Structure 1
């Protein structure tokens, strides 16, 4: 390494340009008088005494009187410890910069990959705290417990909260009905490890692999289209086929759906039985995106595949394509679609069955 390079590094480590030059010069000279050091480098004669005393205070050199002020480089252990400490700080700073770069703030229409699960959990809590209509939660029972306060507050605001839980200890480690009441609308148990997934208001997702995964990373989504993919993953892998362990629904409470697929599944059965079903739909007009509410009688439901027979429930595969219902309001006939509706007049955010009458 050239003298100029070593001098520059010492400057980066905190020495002044004069201090760096004087110290490198002393390393080469061994013992030398102050004037000899000044003659051998670019430090001005009037400054050399102060420079050497400052270096002595830092532990880089020692001075003594021998006819004139004389200096020599100190045992390098102190210097080496200082440089190594600074090197470690530089490495820590480099890692912190890389980590922060890998964890950008989530903005609208953004998908971000993050390194720490804590980032995913904190984002999920923020999303749940801002939820207005619906939350889908899947994860380990301990992860659920760490978010109970936020989920309960959302449920208190009238948000529909669905949770899918798993545990290393099996059903014996699950919260009882008293612990779930007031926290969620419905809960199901999955006897396989699942990733951590929180989907809020059809627009945002926080995702991380299950706790047994060898890789720790997370995906933060603020986009309706990508969130729709996670929504279907939740429905098919984490919800549809698993046992219900709690539901807030009773025979006396109106049935409200935030997913049109489950509404159409139940409505198809009721219509097959000859029932007259009145519903209230809250959502958005497709042409204007303005909020709207319609009330009327369901006259038809649309879905892919063949109708069911013998009171069988529609399989989820029949609900993977276009799903809609037709509502006669008395003054108009309206086609209602679900999340991502294109062909219908209204995109439903919630569908409530108000009355069921049989002739």
Structure 2
């Protein structure tokens, strides 16, 4: 750094022009009489004593009483720490200004594009902190580290949380992530976070050119991203952790059917609890009872081991709740009694051989 730049930096730290000049002079000569400092610098003689005293009060120099008042620069440990702290504060302030500039405003929006992946991850973290129902995430270990406290807190609040770890799976203890399920895929992938079905955050893989991120605030577009997550990220990935202390829970009706269809075909009695909305009124609804029917496209029963393709167009459950038959649809249900947001297995009873 040249001297002029150093002068500007010290002035930015709070020193006056004369204080900077006197201090730099002492750094050069080590120790000098106060009068000598005035002679070697641009500080006027009538102001040199006040200037040196001001530097002493700030901890930049110390004075020595001899035949004449002398001064010398103090070891700059505290000064260096102070300058670095202010430098870091300014850098943090710059990052925060950029972050707030890119943060979606409070107005309603459907899609918002961000220029920085870091901003997208921070936005996703804030959404997870306020999640009420469910969170689906695909992230690298570094991204997961930023989200983990929010994910753990969400799980503790009863939010259903699923994570797919992309890339290096050895650096993360899947059982310590703090979510209900963790899966892993070796291939790198996009960053995805889907929160309460309404909000979603997406950034393509890092090798796909210029970085950017997309914030979605729309349940239809979020449904599209959910299907991308389900079919290309979640289902093909290796299962690494399932919280065995909690009931098996699903945010996707398709995922539920894929797992329980073989059991249901074999005559198992499956009790479920469904949380969702009335498609007509939007009112919160809960149905609890025995699963009595599974239907795919055309109302037909799917195969014993159905594929995602069989269920992609239409998938419905029927649940007997105290004698009443409720039809349960998935995301975007129109004709069913309940649009399921959460399906939890309450119990499974296998037939007697």
Q: What is the TM-score when the length of structure 2 is the normalising length?
A: 0.66
Q: Cα gap change, 1:225/1:109 in structure 2, threshold over 3 Å: closer, same or farther?
A: farther
Deviations 1:128-167 (A, max 9, x none): 1011111111121111112111111111111111111123
Structure-2 separation of matches of 1:122 and 1:144: 11
Does 2:192 correspond to 1:197?
A: yes
Q: Cα gap change, 1:162/1:104 in structure 2, threshold over 3 Å: closer, same or farther?
A: closer
Pick one of 260, 275, 293 that aligns with 2:268.
275
| C-alpha contact (below 8 Å) 2:174/2:182 kept by paired residues | no
Pick one of 323, 326, 334 that aligns with 1:334.
326
Q: What SS does the corresponding residue of 1:219 show, helix, strand or coil?
A: strand
Does 2:277 correspond to 1:284?
A: yes
Question: Structure 1, unaligned stretches of length 5 or more?
Answer: 1-96
Question: Structure 2, unaligned stretches of length 5 or more?
Answer: 1-96
Q: Which residue number in structure 2 is paired with residue 349 of structure 1?
A: 341
Deviations 1:168-206 (A, max 9, x none): xx4333x124422xx111111111111111110100011
Q: Cα gap change, 1:109/1:234 in structure 2, threshold over 3 Å: closer, same or farther?
A: same
Q: Cα gap change, 1:106/1:218 in structure 2, threshold over 3 Å: closer, same or farther?
A: farther
Q: Which residue number in structure 2 is paired with residue 105 of structure 1?
A: 105
| C-alpha contact (below 8 Å) 1:279/1:297 kept by paired residues | yes
Q: C-alpha displacement at 1:109, in angstroms?
A: 4.4
Q: Which residue number in structure 2 is paired with residue 239 of structure 1?
A: 234
Q: Which residue number in structure 2 is paired with residue 160 of structure 1?
A: 160
| C-alpha contact (below 8 Å) 1:257/1:351 kept by paired residues | yes
Structure-1 separation of matches of 2:240 and 2:101: 42
Q: Which residue number in structure 2 is paired with residue 217 of structure 1?
A: 212
Q: What SS does the corresponding residue of 1:194 show, helix, strand or coil?
A: coil
| C-alpha contact (below 8 Å) 1:131/1:201 kept by paired residues | yes
Q: Cα gap change, 1:295/1:102 in structure 2, threshold over 3 Å: closer, same or farther?
A: closer
Q: Which residue number in structure 1 is paired with residue 125 of structure 2?
A: 125
Q: What SS does the corresponding residue of 2:214 show, helix, strand or coil?
A: strand
Q: Cα gap change, 1:204/1:106 in structure 2, threshold over 3 Å: closer, same or farther?
A: farther
Q: C-alpha displacement at 1:103, in angstroms?
A: 5.9
Q: Which residue number in structure 1 is paired with residue 6 of structure 2?
A: none
| C-alpha contact (below 8 Å) 2:329/2:337 kept by paired residues | yes
Q: C-alpha displacement at 1:104, in angstroms?
A: 4.4
- Bigger drift between 322-331 and 201-210 goes to 322-331
Q: C-alpha displacement at 1:245, in angstroms?
A: 1.3
Structure-1 separation of matches of 2:336 and 2:142: 41
| C-alpha contact (below 8 Å) 2:197/2:223 kept by paired residues | yes
Does 2:255 correspond to 1:262?
A: yes
| C-alpha contact (below 8 Å) 2:276/2:341 kept by paired residues | yes
Q: Cα gap change, 1:306/1:350 in structure 2, threshold over 3 Å: closer, same or farther?
A: closer
- Give the structure with higher Rg (CA): 1
Q: Cα gap change, 1:107/1:229 in structure 2, threshold over 3 Å: closer, same or farther?
A: farther
Structure-1 separation of matches of 2:277 and 2:169: 40
Does 2:294 correspond to 1:301?
A: yes
| C-alpha contact (below 8 Å) 1:206/1:219 kept by paired residues | yes
Deviations 1:39-72 (A, max 9, x none): xxxxxxxxxxxxxxxxxxxxxxxxxxxxxxxxxx
Q: Cα gap change, 1:290/1:178 in structure 2, threshold over 3 Å: closer, same or farther?
A: closer
Q: Cα gap change, 1:271/1:99 in structure 2, threshold over 3 Å: closer, same or farther?
A: closer
Q: Cα gap change, 1:323/1:306 in structure 2, threshold over 3 Å: closer, same or farther?
A: closer
Q: Which residue number in structure 1 is paired with residue 19 of structure 2?
A: none
Does 2:243 correspond to 1:248?
A: yes
Structure-2 separation of matches of 1:103 and 1:289: 29
Q: Which residue number in structure 2 is paired with residue 172 of structure 1?
A: 170
